[in-house]
Amino acid sequence: MKLKPSVRKEIEDLLIKTVETKLEKYKPETESAPFHYRLLGRDRYAMFSFLQSLNTTLGVSIWEQIAEILAKGAGREAKHQYDLFGEVNSNTNSEIVRIIQELREGKRTSDKVKEANIIKRLIKSGIAEKDADSRVDFYVVVDGTENYFDITSAKPNMKEFVSLKQKLLRWMALRWSVKKSAKVITRLAIPYNPYHPKPYERWTLQGLYDLKGGEVLVGEEFWNFVGGGDIYGSLLNVFEDAGKKLRTKIDKKFSTI
């Protein structure tokens, strides 16, 4: 399935603008790295440093912006950096903490439906106010269901996975405190699978997430879900085409360092 030309252009323009801005503002973090220069070469070290900086930029904002472009291109309601307001009462919050503790101790295995039912039963109507977990990376409505995504790095550690899981549970509570009839699912998105072609089987996921229930979408699965079809290959082509257009500018930048 090919992307619409308008969607393709919007994503390509975003990628090119992001990298061009990064190139214009980029300066090596240190004035001198004599050991690295001699081992790797000054140009290679500068490129390595730039790529690290660009990778941070991708992790911070690009993925969620691309997700919004794809979703809207498929005719869906979507927004990145979405604020989810609500209020979590003490009983619900205590139960969420208990669920997290039992998951960590291996006393229970994650079941998204059961967890949702517990939270929905305990949550009380609250004020639509800002919460510590209000900010959602990406929100999209698919077939009447509100999907709330945290888009994370490819290899979170155990502490990060635990924190993200708790956030997903609290998002359900926040939403249902304002509208209990809403169809809600909260998910974790990982933009690409670093273990490809092997499946994503990071040990830190073990037991914490309902993988069969679609609580975690990785790489191709996430992008196809967002774009409403088999668009992953076309998306990769957009990145490749943008890279070709940027190559001369990137080479010129690093020839001066």
pLDDT above 70 for 230? yes
What percent of the chain shows pLDDT beyond 90? 69
Counting Cα atoms < 13 Å in the Cβ hemisphere of 202 gives 20
Mean pLDDT of the chain: 90
Tell me the pLDDT band of 25, cut-offs 50, 70 and 90.
confident
pLDDT of residue 53 exceeding 90, the answer is no
Q: What is the DSSP letter of 92?
A: H
Positions of E strands within the chain: 78-83, 135-142, 145-151, 184-190, 216-218
Residues 6+ apart with CB under 8 A from 17: none
Query: Residue 237's CB: how many other CB atoms inside 10 A?
Result: 14
Asked whether residue 140 carries a pLDDT value surpassing 80, the answer given is yes
Cα angle, residue 87 at apex, residues 86 and 88 outer, rounded to 5°: 130
Residue range 246-253: average pLDDT? Answer: 85
Residue of 96 and 194 predicted with greater confidence = 96
Decide if pLDDT at 45 tops 90.
no
- Confidence check: pLDDT of 64 > 90: yes
Band (222; pLDDT cuts 50, 70, 90): very high
Q: Which residue has the higher pLDDT, 204 or 224?
A: 224
- pLDDT on residue 24: 83
Neighbours of 58 (CB within 10 A): 16
Contact 152, 164 (CB under 8 A): yes
pTM of the model: 0.90
In the chain the domains, ranked by start, together with CATH numbers, are 1-62+230-257 (no CATH), 77-227 (3.40.1560)
* Nearest residue to 95 (alpha-carbon basis) of 111, 126, 119, 113: 119
Q: What pLDDT shows up at residue 55? A: 77
When comparing pLDDT for 171 and 211, which is higher?
A: 171
Summarize the confidence of residues 233-241 as an average pLDDT: 96
Identify the burial level of 7 via C-beta atoms within 10 angstroms of its C-beta, where 0-12 means exposed, 13-18 middle and 19 or more buried.
Answer: buried
Kindly give the residue spans of alpha helices, DSSP state H, lying in 84-215. Answer: 90-105, 112-122, 158-178
Distance CA 34, CA 40 (A): 10
How many angstroms separate the CA atoms of 28 and 173, rounded?
Answer: 44
Identify the band that residue 57 occupies on the pLDDT scale cut at 50, 70 and 90. Answer: confident
pLDDT at residue 6, as a whole number: 97
Q: Among the listed ranges 154-158, 208-212, 250-254, which one has the minimum average pLDDT value?
A: 250-254
The reported pLDDT for the residue numbered 257 is: 58
For 69, residues 6+ apart whose C-beta sits below 8 A from its C-beta are 7, 10, 11, 14
Query: Looking at the predicted structure, is the pLDDT value of residue 31 above 70?
Result: no
Range 247-253 average pLDDT: 84
Give the residue with greater pLDDT, 164 vs 22.
164
Mean pLDDT value of segment 71-79: 98
Q: Looking at this protein, which amino acid is placed at residue 115?
A: E
User: In angstroms, rounded to a whole number, what is the distance separating the alpha carbons of residues 116 and 99?
Assistant: 11
Residue-level length of the chain: 257
Reported confidence tier of residue 244, pLDDT bands at 50, 70, 90: very high
pLDDT per position as a tens digit, 160-190: 999 999 999 999 999 999 999 999 999 999 9
Q: Which helix (H) or strand (E) holds 48?
A: helix 42-57
